């Protein structure tokens, strides 16, 4: 409700400024006044409490509980009693207290006066008759004695030791808590007072309380004066706010209202408005800017009106110009795509997997970044290059492999790949034509090949640089000789673990001047897999932060992915892209050493299914899935076990859909076997069908 009232009132700048200054000045005045009032009152009341406490402690020092335990309205008082009363009276006067009294506790939470500074106890009684007294005032005991009046024992007035029927609750609280207790201020016909009570002890036991009353009438008057001062401050703040409001209205609000009226007229379409504001400050500058804006808008609208009259003609002219530009762009695009297409026609034949070895299996993965459309078909070009072939060294078969990355984007990289691919294919054709036997050693041949390529690439003066891994593998022994020219390290996958086989390069990029190289040797074991090519370290964009790309710098990421897919080349790219986006060409050459023994065995013909299954299982155990598939295809058997092995191999080779079709073809009884259920769960999970995978995992768990 309050918010709506304020919003309804403050619809203008003038009222908003009034409200702000009014609330501001009043808030400051209230804060200052109330703070002063609270601090002043607190200080005064603290001083009263200190005075009461000092009076109580002074009385406590002169009163002993034994002196009052037997006193009542019938008690005779001694000179010692009058002397102590006089001391109490002196304490009252010294500390400027209204009353000082000592109360003795009676039964039923009642108190009896024993000392009271307000009434003088030296009112003595002289006997007239038996059991009767005549009360006279004797200011001094010694004088009474000289006059022959009773002096040792005297009788006090009957009203002096009366029960204190309406004793304050704070007196009882002090008696019960054994602490100093202050009562709230109170008012009676004698004025305004503040009281304090303190327990009186005998041998550690509370027998009464000492009470003190302090007159605070002057403090009450001072507080009333402070309230008047506070009201005066508020009134002064109100007057000040009106004064400031008047000045701000003259200096700020009225010019703003004038500017607002002018802006409203301009918004309504009156572009002839001229704001007159005789000010030399920022508001005057703003008025000049408004007038200039109005003049410019008028000119612009006049031009727009003129332009609209000729719009149709200008649109037609502009449309023709844009159509011609678009046609030119399309021609250039078609010409560029044609160049791309021609380059792809030249480079694609150069990137062939020509290895026919049965003991060294070669597989390529190549994904060029640059994609383009030509004649309604998608093509791609890039700087990555994969080549393999067969060579014969001293009548021993060898497998040649090459994976390289020509520096540069699109056409520049493709040009480097074209030159590099042409040279390598030419060298292979020259070295292996018509079953030619190379008489030099593998290392010498590699050195000559590297030197020949290096000389050609040096001729480009650094404009064409290629990083690569080039190597030759003995098909019988698995001995590999290779050169790593500033390419990602070669990875060995053995016993389900990926690891680098090197920790440094053996040459700089091909094309670099004065490029020395080192030929390295590595021996492959049966079942080993090598991966040469991009490892995703420099080409994988993990994220973008404030427009800056975060590139993967963890070379072990590829190792983890390789172990996750169990060496399946076709799944590597998809898994890597779960971590980020590939920003460059991506290529890998996979080399699997099967060995001569496995090659010989696959050529055998097995007479019965039992022997075939043993060979299939042996190849699957060694991860020779392709060899196992060849045996299965040659067997021409439809046995359920063979179908299971075929599905297992297809799954390991990344052909999950074909593996699922093979498993679904099994009869129901065989599908309930534990190993089949486990394979079904894995295939469904690899296909992303998580619900079906979970179902088969539960059924497998039940059988376990």
CA–CA gap between residue 645 and residue 648 (Å, rounded): 5
What pLDDT was estimated at residue 24? 67
Residue 474: pLDDT above 90? yes
Q: What is the 3-state secondary structure (H, E, C) of 359-392?
A: CEEEEEEEECCEEEEECCEEEEECCEEEEEEEEE
Q: Which residues contact 160 (CB under 8 A, 6 or more apart)?
A: 73, 113, 116, 119, 121
Cα distances (angstroms) measured from residue 626 to each of 449, 494, 528, 675:
32, 17, 14, 21
pLDDT band at 643 (very low <50, low <70, confident <90, very high): confident
* For residue 536, pLDDT beyond 70: no
Instruction: Specify the length of the chain in residues.
Output: 704
Across 520-538, average pLDDT:
83
Ramachandran region of residue 658, left (φ > 0), alpha (ψ -120 to 50) or beta?
alpha
Q: And the tokens for 202?
A: 């005998």
Model confidence pLDDT, tens digit, residues 57-86: 888 888 877 767 777 666 667 788 888 888
Q: Report helix angle 640-652 to 656-664, nearest 10.
A: 160
Where is mean pLDDT largest: 361-375, 478-492, 551-565, 638-652?
Answer: 478-492
Could you give the CA distance from residue 109 to residue 23 in angstroms, rounded to a whole number? 54
For residues 329 and 114, give the distance between their C-alpha atoms in angstroms, rounded to a whole number: 119
Residue 153 clears pLDDT 60, i.e. is over it:
no
Q: What are residue 510's DSSP bridge partners?
A: 466
pLDDT band (50, 70, 90) for residue 442: very high
- For 299-313, how does the pLDDT look when each residue is reduced to its tens digit (9 = 90+)? 777 777 777 766 767
Tell me the DSSP string of 661-702.
HHHHTS-HHHHTSHHHHHHHHHHHHHTT-HHHHHHHHHHHHH
- In this prediction, residue 443 carries a pLDDT of 93
Looking at residue 568, its pLDDT comes to: 87
Q: What is the pLDDT of residue 492?
A: 93
Task: Output the CA angle 342-347-349, nearest 5 degrees.
Answer: 110
Burial class (CB in 10 A: 0-12, 13-18, 19+), 468: buried
- The whole-number average pLDDT for the span 24-35 is 67
- Which residues sit opposite 551 in a β-bridge? 541
CA distance 63 to 69: 11
Q: Write out pLDDT tens, residues 162-217.
A: 788 778 888 888 888 888 999 888 888 878 889 999 998 877 788 889 999 898 88
- Is residue 263 pLDDT above 60, yes or no? yes
Mean pLDDT of the region 368-372: 70
Asked if residue 10 has pLDDT above 80, the reply is no
Three-state secondary-structure class, residue 191: strand
Q: What angle is formed at CA 37 by the lines to CA 32 and CA 38, rounded to 5 degrees?
A: 105
- Torsion angle (degrees, nearest 10) of CA 27, 32, 35, 39: -170
Whether 524 shows a pLDDT value over 70: the answer reads yes
Q: Among 216, 186, 112, 191, which Cα is nearest to 156's?
A: 112
Q: Are 533 and 385 in contact (CB under 8 A)?
A: no
pLDDT on residue 134: 40
Beta strands in 578-630 (DSSP E): 581-582, 586-593
Arithmetic mean of pLDDT, 243-254: 78
Q: For the residues 251-268, what does the mean pLDDT come to?
A: 77
Q: What is the dihedral of CA 246, 248, 250, 251, to 10 degrees?
A: 160
Question: What SS3 state is found at 238?
Answer: helix
Per the prediction, the chain carries an average pLDDT of 77
Closest of 395, 402, 424, 385 to residue 472, by C-alpha: 402
The residue whose two tokens read 């007229």 is: 265
pTM of structure = 0.42
Is the distance from CB of 232 to CB of 226 less than 8 angstroms?
Answer: no
Whole-number Cα distances in Å, 398 to 355, 432, 479, 480, 530: 9, 11, 10, 9, 16
- Determine the pLDDT at residue 602: 39
CA distance 342 to 132: 148
Q: Looking at mean pLDDT, say which of 70-79, 649-658, 668-677 comes out highest.
A: 649-658
In this predicted structure, the answer to whether residue 622 has a pLDDT above a threshold of 90 is no
Q: pLDDT category, 411, cuts 50, 70, 90?
A: low
Which whole number is the average pLDDT over 377-404? 85
Place of tokens 């020219």: 485
pLDDT surpassing 80 at residue 320: no
The encoded tokens of residue 488 equal 């990602």
Is the pLDDT at 152 greater than 50, yes or no?
no
Instruction: Tell me, rounded to whole angstroms, the distance of Cα 126 from its chain centroid.
Output: 97
Q: CA-CA distance, 450 to 452, in Å (whole number)?
A: 6
């Amino acid at each position: 409700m309050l918010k709506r009232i304020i919003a309804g009132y403050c619809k203008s700048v003038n009222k908003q400024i009034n409200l702000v200054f009014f609330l501001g000045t009043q808030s400051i005045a209230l804060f200052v006044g109330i703070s002063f009032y609270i601090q002043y009152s607190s200080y005064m009341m603290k001083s009263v409490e200190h005075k009461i406490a000092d009076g109580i402690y002074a009385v406590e020092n002169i009163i002993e509980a034994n002196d009052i335990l037997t006193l009542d309205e019938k008690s005779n008082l001694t000179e010692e009693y009058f002397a102590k009363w006089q001391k109490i009276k002196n304490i009252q006067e010294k500390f400027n207290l209204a009353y000082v009294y000592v109360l003795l506790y009676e039964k039923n939470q009642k108190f009896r006066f024993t000392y009271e500074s307000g009434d003088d106890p030296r009112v003595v009684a002289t006997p007239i008759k038996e059991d009767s007294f005549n009360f006279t005032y004797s200011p001094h005991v010694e004088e009474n004695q000289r006059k022959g009046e009773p002096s040792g024992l005297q009788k006090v007035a009957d009203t002096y030791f009366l029960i204190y029927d309406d004793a304050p609750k704070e007196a009882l609280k002090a008696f019960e808590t054994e602490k100093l207790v202050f009562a709230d201020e109170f008012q009676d016909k004698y004025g305004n007072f503040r009281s304090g009570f303190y327990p009186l002890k005998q041998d550690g036991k509370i027998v009464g309380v000492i009470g003190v009353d302090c007159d605070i009438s002057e403090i009450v008057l001072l507080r009333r004066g402070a309230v008047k001062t506070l009201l005066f401050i508020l009134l002064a703040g109100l007057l000040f706010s009106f004064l400031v409001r008047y000045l701000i209205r003259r200096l700020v609000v009225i010019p703003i209202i004038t500017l607002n009226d002018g802006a409203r007229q301009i918004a309504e379409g009156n572009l002839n408005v001229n704001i007159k504001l005789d000010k030399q400050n920022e508001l005057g500058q703003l008025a000049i800017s408004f007038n200039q804006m109005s003049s410019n808008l008028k000119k612009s609208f006049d031009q727009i009106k003129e332009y609209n009259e000729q719009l149709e003609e200008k649109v037609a002219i502009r449309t023709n110009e844009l159509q011609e530009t678009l046609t030119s762009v399309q021609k250039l695009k078609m010409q560029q795509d044609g160049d791309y297409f021609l380059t792809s026609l030249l480079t694609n034949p150069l990137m062939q997997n020509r290895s026919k070895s049965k003991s060294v299996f070669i597989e390529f993965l190549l994904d060029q970044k640059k994609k383009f459309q030509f004649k309604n078909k998608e093509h791609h070009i890039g700087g990555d290059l994969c080549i393999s072939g067969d060579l014969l060294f001293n009548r021993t078969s060898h497998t040649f492999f090459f994976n390289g990355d020509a520096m540069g984007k699109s056409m520049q990289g493709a040009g480097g790949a074209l030159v590099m691919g042409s040279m390598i294919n030419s060298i292979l054709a020259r070295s292996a034509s018509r079953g030619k036997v190379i008489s030099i050693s593998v290392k010498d041949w590699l050195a000559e090949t590297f030197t020949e390529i290096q000389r050609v690439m040096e001729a480009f003066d650094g404009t064409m640089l290629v990083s690569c891994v080039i190597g030759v593998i003995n098909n019988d022994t698995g001995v590999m000789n290779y050169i790593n020219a500033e390419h990602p390290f070669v990875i060995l996958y053995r016993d389900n673990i990926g690891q680098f086989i090197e920790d440094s390069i053996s040459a700089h990029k091909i094309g670099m001047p004065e490029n020395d190289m080192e030929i390295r040797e590595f021996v492959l074991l049966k079942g080993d897999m090598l991966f040469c090519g991009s490892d995703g370290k420099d080409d994988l964009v993990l994220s973008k932060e404030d427009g800056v790309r975060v590139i993967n710098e963890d070379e072990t990421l590829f190792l983890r992915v390789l172990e996750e897919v169990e060496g399946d080349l076709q799944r590597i790219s998809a898994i890597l892209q779960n971590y980020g986006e590939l920003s460059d060409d991506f290529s890998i050459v996979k080399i699997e050493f099967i060995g001569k023994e496995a090659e010989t065995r696959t050529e055998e013909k097995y007479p019965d299914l039992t022997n075939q299954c043993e060979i299939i299982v042996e190849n699957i155990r060694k991860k020779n899935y392709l060899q196992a598939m060849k045996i299965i295809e040659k067997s021409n058997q439809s046995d359920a076990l063979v179908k299971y092995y075929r599905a297992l191999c297809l799954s390991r080779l990344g052909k999950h859909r074909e593996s699922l079709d093979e498993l679904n073809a099994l009869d129901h009884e065989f599908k309930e076997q534990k190993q089949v259920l486990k394979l079904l769960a894995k295939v469904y999970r690899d296909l992303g069908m998580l619900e079906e995978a979970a179902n088969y995992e539960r059924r497998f768990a039940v059988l376990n």
